[in-house]
Amino acid sequence: NEGNEYFKEKDYGRAVAAYSEGLRRRCGDAELDAVLLTNRGAAHFHLGNYRSALNDAIQAKKLKPTHLKAIIRGALCHIELKNFSEAIAWCEEGLQIDSKEKKFVEMRAKADKLKLEGTFLGIQTDLSTRCQGRAVLGTDLFCERNIKLVLEPSDEEEEVSDGLAEISLDGFHSDSATGAKVHLDADGNLNWPVLFLYPEHEQTDFTVAFHENSRFIDHLMVMFAELPPWDLEKKYLPNNLELYFEDEEREEMYEVNPEHTLLQVLQHERYFVKAGTPTVLVFAKRSPFSKKYFSGKKVHRL
């Protein structure tokens, strides 16, 4: 009930927290848990956390296979993540349960159209666009936190490093990215848009509201509660991931402790926030790709 009240007030962050607390009580009522998961997924969706929303929809559907709201939410998430074939499959599944539900027909048509169009964005174009639409907050908010911003990139700084140049933004909704801004919540804490890059698979995730005091591992546990469709080798498990950020000026890589909060990472002496969006790279531990990727680079490991 508390989560529903926050949801009505459009305070989606607190709604997520309330629904999560309800799930932690482990009431044993599959029907209620399915509702909690579906509602939390809806709140995540409004925050732009599409992978987290999708994982909640998947879990809700496991508990209650005929739960239409969960199936609708899952289909919407797949569309936002540009998993158009999966979105179509979810719509077909929903239509088998209720052939008269117009939302499934409309979403399937949209997914079909987008799949045919095959819209892909280059990462350099996206970064440039986000530079133009970044948020402007009082610099004292960042100074007191010892966060270093790159506010006006030079031509050289706008260039994408060789390691990222070939990563496309498939699975990444451009409208959310260009509109996402760092903002203060009611408690005076900063919430950041954060871009996760998966170089091995040329994939990305975009979290619109990453609370500065949230740990990376907590986000990874939600994001990878279910294996992503592109992880055919089933390597991308929350505890089998390594995070890094790149110091472009020195051309060096720094490993990130997943137990650290976003604020702790942003306060690193060599972390510079570009275009108002923190970025981290994600690799599977000890993978042949990561060994090759880091070959010849100076890497500061934990």
Whether residue 276 is predicted with pLDDT greater than 90 in this model: the reply is no
pLDDT of 180? 66
Instruction: Give the pLDDT confidence of 96-144 residue by residue, as tens digits.
Output: 999 888 889 888 888 877 776 654 333 333 434 443 333 345 567 888 8
Instruction: List pLDDT tens digits, range 231-265.
Output: 999 999 999 999 999 998 888 999 999 999 999 99
Pairing verdict, β 183-184 and 190-198: antiparallel
pTM listed for this prediction = 0.54
What pLDDT sits at residue 251? Answer: 87
What is the predicted pLDDT for the residue at 156? 38
Pairing of strands 148-150, 272-274: parallel
Residue 11: its pLDDT value, please? 92
Taking residues 223-229, report their average pLDDT. 86
Residue 224 has pLDDT above 50, yes or no: yes
Share of the chain above pLDDT 90, in %: 55
pLDDT confidence tier of residue 92, bands split at 50, 70 and 90: very high
- Phi/psi region, residue 51 (left: phi>0; alpha: psi -120 to 50; beta: rest), is alpha
Q: Which of 133-142, 188-197, 290-299 has the lowest mean pLDDT?
A: 133-142
Q: What is the pLDDT of residue 39?
A: 95
Q: If pLDDT is split at 50, 70 and 90, which confidence band does 178 have?
A: very low
pLDDT single digits (tens) 2-41: 999 999 999 999 999 999 999 998 888 999 999 999 999 9
**How far lies 267's CA from each of 11, 150, 212, 288, in Å?**
27, 14, 11, 31
Domains and CATH numbers, the chain: 1-120 (1.25.40.10), 183-301 (3.10.20.90)
Segment of 195-204, 212-221, 253-262 carrying the highest mean pLDDT: 253-262
d(CA 155, CA 135): 20
Q: Which pLDDT value is given to residue 212? A: 95
CB atoms within 10 A of CB 28: 7
Residue 134: alpha-carbon gap to chain centroid: 18
